[in-house]
Structure 1
Amino acid sequence: MAGLAREIAACRICAQRFAETATGHEPRPVVWFRPGARMLIAGQAPGARVHQSGKPFDDPSGDRLRDWLGLSAHEFYDTARVAIVPMAFCFPGYDAKGSDLPPPKVCGQTWHDRVMQELAQVRLTVLVGGYAHKYHLGVKTGVTETVKAWRERAPEVFTLPHPSWRNTAWLRKNPWFEAEVLPALRARVKEVMDE
């Protein structure tokens, strides 16, 4: 790890915030990018399992996302081709009811512009979930409307719902996503990865 990635890995801006969550955990930034990557996956924030492993999307959501993209785990974790940059590099923790806390805005404000400057070779950006949609696109619409408008941004940008099991009902209710978006996404991913 070098330069900016090392700085992010050492970040402790949210130490007090995380100590006050129901999980009472320490920061552990999950940094997974290198300059030269051709594809950017911009997500929300690491979950508890990723916090433990230190590997992004190392959970059932990651399995679903890799399936959506048509990538093997080996391809997905190839930092020479794929950058994985969440809205917050650390697990934000749970609230008192056990729900995920939102990604702290300070993380994006502190790091994202600098990270994006290092990722000048990106040819495909995959925005996963509402937080990434809002930050990268500045949209005010909800996830369904943003994902439905995928053709307006393709083939450079694809907007996806979060691949969490919590969105299984959303997927059933919106069959157009698997029928229309995923084939186009997989074709574009293959094109970019094969370059």
Structure 2
Amino acid sequence: MATQQFSNLLDRVRACTICQDHLSHGVRPIIQASPKAKLLIIGQAPGLRVHESGIPWNDPSGERLRRWLNLPSEIFYNETQIAIVPMGLCYPGKGKSGDLPPRPECASLWHPQLLPALPNVGMTLLIGQYAQNYYLSDKPKTLTETVKQWQTWAPRYLPLPHPSPRNTLWLKRNPWFEDEVVPYIRDYVHQHLKL
């Protein structure tokens, strides 16, 4: 895809209002992408803090994710290195026990247009169950079992738990994740990105 075509696609994504009637805080698609990107991060949807700042992963979850990747902000936020295309591009609003699920319209509308336009991506981090359910077929029912079987899909897809502070207990109960999976991702990222 030519540079201008990709730029036009991003403009259309950022102007999207497909699910505006369902968003309590209004539309604000959050995306970072370039055809040159080598790593793709597909998470759930922006949280309120990210919605307000317009910067993806600009919250405690993002701090942990950058620690997992061992990347400084200037690399993480360089779209020619890392693409960030969540399952839901806008903040879905608050639910009873946290943020609402990502709106289903986004991934089905935009991912088929965006992902083929990222030809250099060699690894996609699938963060949380929404991304894993969408992209991994024949996966186990639980997130823990899916992440344990990460080698099944690596390096193309890497299923990860959400780096939210709410998952600190999960990380303590599953030390193998930071002992085995995180070093593999770091090695891949540092070999393939221009660091």
Measured against the shorter chain, the TM-score band is over 0.9
8 A Cα contact 1:47 1:91, kept in partner: yes
RMSD value over aligned CA atoms? 1.4
Counterpart for residue 21 of structure 1: none
Equivalent position SS for 2:40: strand
Distance 2:27 2:87 in 1: 15
Q: State whether structure 2 residue 106 is matched by structure 1 residue 107.
A: yes
Partner of 2:3: none
Q: Shift of residue 140 of structure 1?
A: 5.2
Give the Å deviation of 1:32: 0.8
Q: Give yes or no for the alignment of 1:17 onto 2:22.
A: yes
Structure 1 residue 98, shift from structure 2 partner: 5.8
State the distance in 2 between where 1:151 and 1:48 align: 33
Runs of 4+, deviation exceeding 3 Å: none
Separation of aligned partners in 2, 1:109 and 1:153:
22
Q: Following superposition of structure 1 onto structure 2, how do residues 120-139 of structure 1 map, counting pairs within 5 Å?
A: 120-138=119-137, 139=139
Q: Which residue of 2 aligns with 1:71?
A: 71
Q: TM-score, normalised by structure 1?
A: 0.92
Contact 1:39 1:122 (C-alpha < 8 Å) held by counterparts: yes
Count of matched residue pairs:
189
Summarize deviations over 1:20-69 as a string: whole Å, max 9, x none.
xxxx2111101211112111011110000000000100000000000001
Q: Distance in 2 between matches of 1:155 and 1:31?
A: 23
Counterpart Cα distance in 2 of 1:183 and 1:5:
32
- Contact kept? 1:134, 1:140, Cα under 8 Å: no
> Residue 159 of structure 1 aligns with which residue?
159
Gaps of 5+ in 2: 1-5
Q: Aligned equivalents of 1:118 and 1:141: distance in 2? A: 31
Which deviates further from its counterpart, 29-38 or 165-174?
29-38
CA–CA separation in structure 1 for the residues paired with 2:35 and 2:141: 31
Q: TM-score, normalization: structure 2? A: 0.92
Give the AA of the match of 1:134. Answer: N
Identify unmatched segments of 5+ residues in structure 1. 19-23
SS of 2:124's partner is strand
> Structure 1 residues 121 and 16, CA, compared in 2 at 3 Å: closer, same or farther?
same
Any idea what SS the aligned residue of 2:159 has? strand
**Residue 90 of structure 1 aligns with which residue?**
90
Q: Distance in 2 between matches of 1:143 and 1:64?
A: 18
Give the Cα–Cα distance (whole angstroms) in 1 for the partners of residues 42 and 107 of structure 2: 11
